[in-house]
Amino acid sequence: MTPGEAKIKRWRESCLYFAVEELGMQPDPWQVELFEAFSSGTPIDKRIALAACKGVGKSAGLAVCILNFLAAQGERGEHPKGAATSITEDNISDNLWPEISKWQGRSEHLKRSFNWTKTRITSVDHPETWFFSLRTWPKSGDKTKQANTLAGLHSKYLLFVVDESGDVPDSVFAAADAGLTGTEEGRFQKIIQAGNPTKRDGPLYRACFRERDLWHTIKITGDPDNPNRSSRQNIEWARDQIKRYGRDSPWVMVNVLGEFPETSINAILSAHEIEVAMKRKLDLYTYERAQKRIGNDVAREGDDMTVMFPRQGLRAFNYVELSGARGPEVADRLITSKEKWGSELEFVDDTGGFGGSVIDSMVQRGYSPIGVNFSSKATDPRYFNKRAEMYFRMRDWFRRGAQLPDDSRLMEELCATKYTSKNGKIILVPKELIKAELGRSPDRADSLALTFAQEEAISRTQAGIITLGERSNHAETEWDPFETASSED
């Protein structure tokens, strides 16, 4: 046996050895458990489930397992094959896939032996038969089409990885689970699923509870009082979240403690719903009778943006951002847009008094903006506060066939907005947690939500629609009211 063959044999025996010696990793205790289970041949280790809090290196752990599988498994004439999927293509493309490339770059052997592309990692010598691929599942397809996501792979050496698995349909798991039924001696066939414990149903929840005798479950916590907590989550941040919201709050249980909450945390909108709205092109007649509204989310801190979002019925137009603008300047821009576009209602975020100077400046000039406090009481008793009510009105708007500007930042903010229940009422995850996840405030999503502060109404007049549409020099379906306003200033 050559030294190279001996090294690969050692990697096959121990993914932990591979991570430490070849990749230079210093794994957390939970990652040690993952790597040992990955190399184990016991029946329960065929299925591994990771229920993790935020920011603990979950993608790094999965990436190391995938690279170990490609480098160490297989034999002459029988090559390893695998696939990974997630709740959305963006999630896996932006997180797990780049993480694989990062760790591959730490090994001369891996760089020399495998090619990494945006959708596939292949052996240099056997690209057609020795690979690991990125796959997506059809959000609107039937169960058979969804099951085909991980179908078509056949080998004595198989690996399926499902990231953010809590919201992935059971049908997607069907083909992967069928891959574990091989009877070949010496086979290596595994499934790893991973995600945040947000929901009390779905594949991840079942693996941790009802089907725990079939899965090796690893619970990853950032609990400051747990000596086995992941050191990768900032302990001061964790303590601050517990102090602010309490250990029993759903978002603390999910994001800090890594535990399933008493009530599930759900996304208000799916990425698929948002994508469909961003691709939709509405005819003028579908929204021309509705009121024109502008939502104005006012910046609170230095890195926040003031955002104005125009909407008329089912059509939301391109928003405008103002950085570092003071109240009177914001009021001037809002008044100009109102006069030139003909909006009937202007909603200004006055939570904490931040929009007060904008409102005062407009009132002094004879206008009547509507101040909205996100934390005030909702009109509908189902909702904990006005913020939840506005976002759920917006969700209903999406499902009636809305058109939205195609904007990646807006999509990220909408996807990051989640809800649960408190005292029997629907409540959104705190804005501070969304900001921590995104690295910025969800100003664009909030400004759009503001246009739903009041129930929909028919426009008082339609005369301005035709006049302004003709003046814009664009087809009505492409017209941008803020662009029109600024070009005529």
Q: What is the CATH number of the domain that holds 143?
A: 3.40.50.300
Q: Work out the average pLDDT over 113-126.
A: 95
Provide the percentage of residues in the chain whose pLDDT is more than 70.
90
Domain presence at residue 110: yes
Q: Are residues 97 and 172 in the same domain?
A: yes
Q: How confident is the model at residue 418 (pLDDT cuts 50, 70, 90)?
A: very high
Q: Which is higher by pLDDT, 151 or 475?
A: 151
* Sequence-ordered alpha helix ranges (H) in 92-165: 97-104, 108-113, 143-147
Is it the case that residue 185 has pLDDT exceeding 80?
no
Is it the case that residue 63 has pLDDT exceeding 90?
yes
* Closest of 212, 207, 171 to residue 85, by C-alpha: 171
Domain presence at residue 226: no
Is it the case that residue 140 has pLDDT exceeding 80?
no
The average confidence (pLDDT) of the chain is 88
The boundaries of the domain holding residue 53 are 3-220
Is it the case that residue 475 has pLDDT exceeding 60?
no
pLDDT in tens, 257-301: 999 998 888 889 988 899 999 999 999 999 999 999 999 999 876
Contact 317, 481 (CB under 8 A): yes
Pairing relationship of beta strands 292-297 and 345-349 according to DSSP bridges: parallel
Domain presence at residue 227: no
Q: Are residues 126 and 38 in the same domain?
A: yes
Contact 420, 264 (CB under 8 A): yes
Close Cβ partners of 402 (under 8 Å, ≥ 6 residues apart)? 277, 280, 314, 315, 316
pLDDT in tens, 298-326: 987 666 789 999 999 999 999 999 988 88
Domain presence at residue 316: yes
Please compute, for residue 377, the number of CA atoms within 13 A of its CA located in the half-sphere on the CB side.
Answer: 2
Pairing relationship of beta strands 320-322 and 266-267 according to DSSP bridges: unpaired
Q: How confident is the model at residue 488 (pLDDT cuts 50, 70, 90)?
A: very low
Q: Assign 200 to helix, strand or coil.
A: coil
Q: How high is the pLDDT of residue 340?
A: 92
Is it the case that residue 469 has pLDDT exceeding 60?
no
Q: How high is the pLDDT of residue 302?
A: 60
Task: Give residue 110's Cα distance to chain centre.
Answer: 30
Is it the case that residue 473 has pLDDT exceeding 50?
no
Q: How high is the pLDDT of residue 463?
A: 42
Q: How confident is the model at residue 71 (pLDDT cuts 50, 70, 90)?
A: very high
Strands (E), 373-458: 418-422, 425-428
End of a domain among 220, 251, 281?
A: 220
Q: How high is the pLDDT of residue 477?
A: 39
Q: How high is the pLDDT of residue 148?
A: 63
Domain presence at residue 434: yes
Is it the case that residue 245 has pLDDT exceeding 70?
yes
Q: Are residues 279 and 400 in the same domain?
A: yes
Is it the case that residue 374 has pLDDT exceeding 90?
yes
Paired residues of 196 in beta bridges: none
Domain presence at residue 330: yes
Find the radius of gyration of the CA atoms of the chain.
26
Q: Are residues 242 and 284 in the same domain?
A: no
The CATH number of residue 280's host domain is 3.30.420.240
Q: Are residues 163 and 284 in the same domain?
A: no
Q: Work out the average pLDDT over 237-245.
A: 91
Q: Are residues 185 and 245 in the same domain?
A: no
Q: Mean pLDDT lowest for which of 6-15, 195-204, 465-474?
A: 465-474
Domain total for the chain? 3
The string of DSSP codes covering 340-380 is HHT-SEEEEE-GGGTTHHHHHHHHHTT---EEE-TTSPPSS
Is it the case that residue 471 has pLDDT exceeding 50?
no
Could you give phi then psi for residue 30, rounded to 5 degrees?
-70, -35
